[in-house]
């Protein structure tokens, strides 16, 4: 009988032990702070539930997601942990937050008013994180909103602050002037707010800016999954994923033949092309056309032609024929071609690559007592 591996045209291998090790490594860089785990966007595309279970086993007790639905889905897998929802509370969602023991990150005076109203209706204080904008101009309380809260703390009636937080804009550039500016602004705003609660500023890259940025809780996300948090330095973290696509067909080619839509690649001499059963519907961006790479038998093989929805074509002329046949695997992400390398070829970042990996891949988990 055929197995799932037999049927799979692409295999995404996910090492949960490596993710847990990365969490420990990041936690060790901030020994005086609690280390949370960010598992939004379905664990950066790798599966929030198995990732969170592995992190919980490693000792993580606080998790961040982006939406209330992500929090509801995660709750059964980490019953004894805190789950904070970065997008905050929306009208009509109070009962779900309370029923699933989710903690909203309050980003605006309107959200604070909603949560205070839910607390008043229930007759008991409700936990929440307070998010302040230290320079991103995206989510969070601006200076005017902080001043209003400081001047009238009744606006926080019924709210039990469990965290005061902000987020950095340029932390992956170690020497960027905005890093110190945001640190100083966050400190000033948090002091002005006057709330007695732990503070948090550092996501993955910010952890490496030093102890001044660590405060009471760090929030590693991308770093957990092996993305380099400081692109100008060697990656201190383990790679967590490998992606293989299966060869569907191999053909001999010669000039003046072309390959793929738009005839964007013309062969200059005799060679061989392998067609792989992965495409932009699986997260291999069209921008990789004529510039990406795979690896077969330790040999880098270039993408030739455009990326199609379900297929890519590789020039395998330099690979020994024994390695190139229908059903053989081509490494698209792995030790010889990591997610940051693929992202650079695509003109994007590792975050986007991971979160775009399609659902057609067989997800093959190892470690974490799987």
Tell me: do 221 and 249 sit in the same domain. Answer: no
Q: Is the pTM of this model over 0.85?
A: yes
DSSP-derived secondary structure letter, 337: B
Query: Residue 149 to residues 116, 143, 162, 163, 194: CA-CA distances in angstroms?
Result: 13, 10, 16, 16, 9
Residues 274 and 192 in one domain: no
Give yes or no: residues 71 and 214 share one domain: yes
Q: Is residue 364 part of a domain?
A: no
**In this structure, is residue 370 part of a structural domain?**
no
Annotated binding residues for substrate: 138, 309
Please report, for residues 277, 312, 324, 330, the alpha-carbon distance to residue 285 in angstroms, rounded to integers and kept in the order given. 14, 10, 24, 17
Q: How confident is the model at residue 135 (pLDDT cuts 50, 70, 90)?
A: very high
Cβ proximity of 186 and 165 under 8 Å: no
Average pLDDT, integer, range 21-42: 98
Domain boundary among 164, 192, 225: 225
Query: Do 218 and 180 sit in the same domain of this protein?
Result: yes
CA pair distance 282, 333, nearest whole angstrom: 13
312-328: per-residue pLDDT in tens?
Answer: 999 999 999 989 999 99
With respect to residue 49, please indicate whether it lies within any of the assigned structural domains: yes
* Rounded (5°) CA angle 244-249-255: 115
Proportion of the chain above pLDDT 70, given as a percent: 99
Mean residue pLDDT of the chain comes to 95
Nearest C-alpha neighbor of 186 from the set 157, 206, 172: 206
Weakest mean pLDDT among 2-6, 128-132, 274-278: 2-6
Q: Are residues 67 and 196 in the same domain?
A: yes
Catalytic residue among 225, 246, 261, 280: 261
**In 129-227, which ranges are continuous DSSP H helix?**
143-151, 177-193, 204-207
CA proximity to 63, closest of 43, 38, 80:
38
pLDDT at 154: 86
The verdict on residue 2 lying in a domain is: no
pLDDT digit string, tens, across residues 79-130: 999 999 999 999 999 999 999 999 999 999 999 999 999 999 888 999 999 9
**Domain containing 295 — which CATH number?**
2.40.37.10
Per-residue CA distances from 294 to 29, 258, 335, 337 (Å): 34, 20, 11, 7
Neighbours of 222 (CB within 10 A): 23
130 and 277 belong to one structural domain? no
Task: Give the CATH number, domain containing residue 91.
Answer: 3.20.20.10
Of 170, 198, 225, the position where a domain reaches its end is 225
CA end-to-end distance (rounded Å), the chain: 23
What pLDDT, on the 0 to 100 scale, is given for residue 233?
A: 92
Q: Do 105 and 36 lie in a common domain?
A: yes
Burial of 259 (0-12, 13-18, 19+ CB in 10 A): buried
The verdict on 34 and 170 lying in the same domain is yes
Distance of CA 6 to the CA centre of its chain: 29
Same domain (yes/no): 275, 131 = no
Specify the number of domains making up the chain: 2
Write down the pLDDT at residue 31.
Answer: 97
Confidence of residue 6 (pLDDT cuts 50, 70, 90): confident
The answer to whether residue 129 is domain-embedded is yes
Q: Coil, strand or helix: which one is 322? A: helix
| Same domain? 219 vs 277 | no
- Binding-site residues sit at 138, 309
Cβ contact 292:353 at 8 Å: no
Domain that holds residue 267: 241-337
- Asked if residue 154 and residue 80 are part of one domain, the reply reads yes
149 and 44, same structural domain?
A: yes
Q: Is 40 a catalytic residue?
A: yes
Q: Name the domain boundary from 225, 250, 282.
A: 225
Q: Residues 40, 213, 225, 246: which is the catalytic one?
A: 40
Q: Under 8 Å CB-to-CB from 47, ≥6 apart: which residues?
A: 14, 363, 365
Query: Nearest 5°: CA angle at 309, between 305 and 312?
Result: 35
Known catalytic residue: 261?
yes
**105 within some domain:** yes
Is 112 domain-assigned? yes
User: Is position 236 within any domain?
Assistant: no
- The mean pLDDT of 216-239, rounded to a whole number, is 96
């Amino acid at each position: 009988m055929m197995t799932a591996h037999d049927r799979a045209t692409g295999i995404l291998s996910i090492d949960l032990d490596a993710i847990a090790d990365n969490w420990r490594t990041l936690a060790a860089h901030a020994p005086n702070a609690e280390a949370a785990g960010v598992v939004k966007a379905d664990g950066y595309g790798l599966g929030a539930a198995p990732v969170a279970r592995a992190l919980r086993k490693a000792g993580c007790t606080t998790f961040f997601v982006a939406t209330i639905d992500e929090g509801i889905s995660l709750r059964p897998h980490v019953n004894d942990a805190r789950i904070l929802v970065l997008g905050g509370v929306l009208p009509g969602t109070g009962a779900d937050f309370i029923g699933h023991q989710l903690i909203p990150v309050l980003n605006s005076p309107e959200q604070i008013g909603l949560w205070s109203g839910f607390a008043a209706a229930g007759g008991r204080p409700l936990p929440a994180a307070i998010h302040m904008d230290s320079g991103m101009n995206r989510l969070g309380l601006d200076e005017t909103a902080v001043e209003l809260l400081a001047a009238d703390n009744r606006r926080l009636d019924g709210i039990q602050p469990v965290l005061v937080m902000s987020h950095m804009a340029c932390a992956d550039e170690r020497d960027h002037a905005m890093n110190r500016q945001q640190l100083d602004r966050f400190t000033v705003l948090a002091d002005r707010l006057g709330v007695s609660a732990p503070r948090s500023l550092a996501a993955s890259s910010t952890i490496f800016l030093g102890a001044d940025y660590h405060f009471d809780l760090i929030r590693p996300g991308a770093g957990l999954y092996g993305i380099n948090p400081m692109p100008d330095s060697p990656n201190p973290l383990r790679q967590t994923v490998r992606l293989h696509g299966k060869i569907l067909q191999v053909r001999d080619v010669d000039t003046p033949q072309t390959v793929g839509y738009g005839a964007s690649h013309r062969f200059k001499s005799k060679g061989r092309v392998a067609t792989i059963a992965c495409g932009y519907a699986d997260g291999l961006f069209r921008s990789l056309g004529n510039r990406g790479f795979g690896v077969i038998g330790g040999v880098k093989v270039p993408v030739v032609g455009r990326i199609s929805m379900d297929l890519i074509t590789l020039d395998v002329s330099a690979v020994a024929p024994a390695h190139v046949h229908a059903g053989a695997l081509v490494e698209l992400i792995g030790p010889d071609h990591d997610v940051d390398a693929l992202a650079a070829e695509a003109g994007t970042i590792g975050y986007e690559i991971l979160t775009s990996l399609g659902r057609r891949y067989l997800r093959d988990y190892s470690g974490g007592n799987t």
